Amino acid sequence: MSIPPDVRRRLSLAAALLCAQHALAQPTDTAPQQVTVSGSRTAINPNTPAATDSIDRSRLADLNIANPEDSIKYLPNIATRKRFIGDRNGAIESRGTNNRMSARGLVLADGVLLSNFLGSQDQIAPRWSMVFPEEIDRVDVVYGPFSALYSGNAIAAAVLFTTRMPKGFEANAGLQLQRQRFDFLGTSKTLQGNLANAFIGNRNGAWAYQLGVSHLDSTSQPTGFAALTPSTTTAAATDRVATSGAYTVSNRLGQDMVIVGVGGGGIERTKQTNLKFKLSYDIEPTLQARLTAIRWTNDRQAGAEGDTSYLRDSTGAPIYTGPVAIAGRRYTIAANTFSPRNGEEEHRNLALMLKSSHAVGWNIDAVASSYDFAKNIARTASTAPPLAFSGGAGTMNRQDGSGWRTLDLKVDRRPGADDPHWLTLGAHWAQFVFKQDNFSTSDWLADTPTATTSTVRAKTETQALFVQDAWSFSGPWKAIVGLRAERWRSFDGSSVGGNPASIALPARSETAWSPKAALEWAPDEAWLARLSLARATRFPTPVELFQGYISAVQQITSDPNLKPERGLFTDLTVERYFPRGSARLTLFNEDTRDTLFNQSNGATIPSTSNAQNIDRVRVRGIELAADTRGVLHPKLDLSASVAYNDSRVLANRTTPATVGKRFAQLPLTRATAIAIWRQTQTFNVSAALRQSGRQYANLNNDDVRDDAYNSLSSFAVVDLRANWQLSPQARLSLGLDNAGDKRYFVNHPFPGRSLVVEVKLGL
């Protein structure tokens, strides 16, 4: 694996930092002798045979956290595609997985599945909104599919939320105000939002409850622009003349494009309300039952008047459609270029849990959950503005009735002092149901379809059994071996009016055996070395198998015969612990056959794009991470990480020209750093860094620019925060996200400098 000189320099600096922190991490009279640190040997499961990292409630309180997915944004080699506060499309990316492969990231909250495995793309992300940031006790990230306890959907990582229940009466409320000034091309706006929440809970003997409500009202920066290809046609005398509002810029390929406004979905106003109730009962001191019920709603609008077209005629009136003269050339703006759109969602999540916590002997962990799309409507005008602002023809998409059901049972036998084996057994069942109906409407603002244009129905189901044994032998040695057997099937799949025009195929099924093995050496409390090996299988999702559509320029095809992706994964980790910190070095390798990824097939006209099997992809990488508390100075906490990800397409029969190229949308480097200065017990300030290196949008690596709209930027942004504990009941925080106002893109423009003001009150 050849490492470029600039990357070697970054790794050398990181290694020097880790060594310095290690050398300085000796007890002093002024520093505490023992603290809990991120990455310490307090993982959610002590037999997790993989690299892990974590962040707890106290650390989260020091950082700018608006949504639950923000809790992992400073952890090593992991990120989410969160474009704005309230974005529903925050897919996970980590190691060899990009954000267009969302089915490779497993997210659980208290064992309840939040990952949306109906599909695998950047717009089908985990349902982060099912967790309130205020209820998070800790978040653990398990890197890679090395544990038999998790399915192949954990190829990138498993993100495990642990939430808290009240120990006595508590009531609190919070208000967060956000303000962003966004100046780019023809948009110069001050964008504002607010997030309000309130909680009440109590414990009375064996019973405990918690009721929470939150409301988010937020406006995004433009996330997409209307771009035209430069014209060579001379404008006609009858064409409407645009006297201003056209911007000629270069795209990621180095080609000129003419930006004429923000696309109809570019500036989104979203109002989300979340109501969550948790009830627990201690059947015995070591056996607890819990009920969780959540209702989440979202009302969104985009393409409002004044938010779209930049073009103005000589009278100052906006131009939305038709032939238009720009700098003497004729351009044709389609009727739907600036089409406004809106949507309504109501999702419900219900879960029952039973868990025991015996220090020695058998324990049970059982979870049953149901996630339902009670309402999921998206409407888009096909009529051009300004008529579209008040109605007109359009389309409507409904996914009501989609969702998933899960059953999980895990039993483990925790050993006594003289027992070398920690045995875990379990079973898993999950069914995913996807329903989609597309309609044409005479009035896009009303739910009155005139005709059905397409329908999709699809189901997948997985049944799994797993076993894992952690065997401590010969003093410092431990072997963790596991096996996961999975039976997957797709059934009741059909597509009418898509591409192909109509399909209904019989059920199909696959079986996968995924062995896991790890060998640990821990000579004392200060050192741990572990080599992990795993096979993993990720099965296709309903959307990948059955959803397709056709337009004038592109066909998105379905493929009910997709193969599951199967990989061999290795991880070598060395960890060092000391009284006030920890450090980790990891080398990893991912070698995946039949990788599932949306790619274009250039051999067809018009071009087709769909989830396809790429024959072989390999990713090799290095991760360095450290976390210290009060080492360089008793008041200073520091953490840092740097990762290098070398990805290559090794075989691809569909598009041979991509062989040898870097895999799409995987940054070569990722780095994070957090510095917290605790001036007093009631005041602290923090600075946090997020860095992402060079990456390419497509498998052919044809990007020549990474600083243009629709490019994938290399970026480094700094977030700042100050916290004042005004009293035991009141806390005030002031923050800046992207304090340097860095303009960067991951296809979409990401937020500029954003002011965050937060007030929290509690009893």
Query: Pick from 128, 138, 132: which is nearest to 59 by CA?
Result: 138
Q: What is the dihedral of CA 266, 267, 271, 272, to 10 degrees?
A: 40
Distance (Å) of CA 513 to CA 463, 466, 485: 12, 10, 5
Handedness of CA 79, 84, 85, 89 (dihedral sign): negative
Q: How far apart are CA 388 and CA 443, in angstroms?
A: 9
Residue with tokens 């006594």: 416
Does residue 356 form part of some domain?
A: yes
Q: Domain residues for 97?
A: 5-224+263-303+339-762
Handedness of CA 8, 11, 15, 21 (dihedral sign): positive
Q: How far apart are CA 215 and CA 16, in angstroms?
A: 45
Does residue 665 form part of some domain?
A: yes
Per the DSSP assignment, residues forming a β-bridge with 170 are 201
Q: What is the pLDDT of residue 560?
A: 82
Does residue 412 form part of some domain?
A: yes
Using CB atoms within 10 A of its CB, is residue 23 exposed (0-12), middle (13-18) or buried (19+)? exposed
Does residue 233 form part of some domain?
A: no
DSSP assignment, residue 374?
A: E
What is the total count of domains within the chain? 1
Q: What is the pLDDT of residue 499?
A: 55
Structure tokens at 543: 């959307």
Q: What is the pLDDT of residue 85?
A: 93
Per-block mean pLDDT, blocks of 10 residues, the chain (763 long): 50 43 39 33 76 94 94 96 92 94 96 95 92 95 97 96 95 96 93 96 96 96 93 93 94 93 91 97 96 98 93 94 94 92 97 96 97 96 93 94 98 92 97 94 91 91 98 94 97 77 79 98 95 97 75 54 95 95 97 88 46 94 96 95 97 93 96 96 96 94 90 95 96 96 92 96 91
Does residue 502 form part of some domain?
A: yes
Structure tokens at 752: 């500029």
Does residue 674 form part of some domain?
A: yes
Q: What is the DSSP string of 299-350?
A: EEEE--TTSSB--B-TTS-B--SEEEEETTEEEEE-TTTT--EEEEEEEEEE
608-629 vs 555-556, strand pairing mode: parallel
**CATH code where residue 547 lies:** 2.40.170.20
Structure tokens at 626: 């450290």
Structure tokens at 575: 């960890």
Does residue 250 form part of some domain?
A: no
Q: How far apart are CA 298 and CA 512, in angstroms?
A: 38
Q: How far apart are CA 148 and CA 131, in angstroms?
A: 25
- Non-local (6+) Cβ contacts of 109 within 8 A are 130, 131, 161, 163
Handedness of CA 132, 137, 143, 149 (dihedral sign): negative
Does residue 405 form part of some domain?
A: yes
- Non-local (6+) Cβ contacts of 79 within 8 A are 72, 73, 92, 93, 94, 99, 670, 690, 692
Q: What is the DSSP string of 479-519?
A: EEEEEEEEEEEEEEEEEESSSSSEEEE--EEEEEEEEEEEE
3-state SS assignment for residue 20: helix
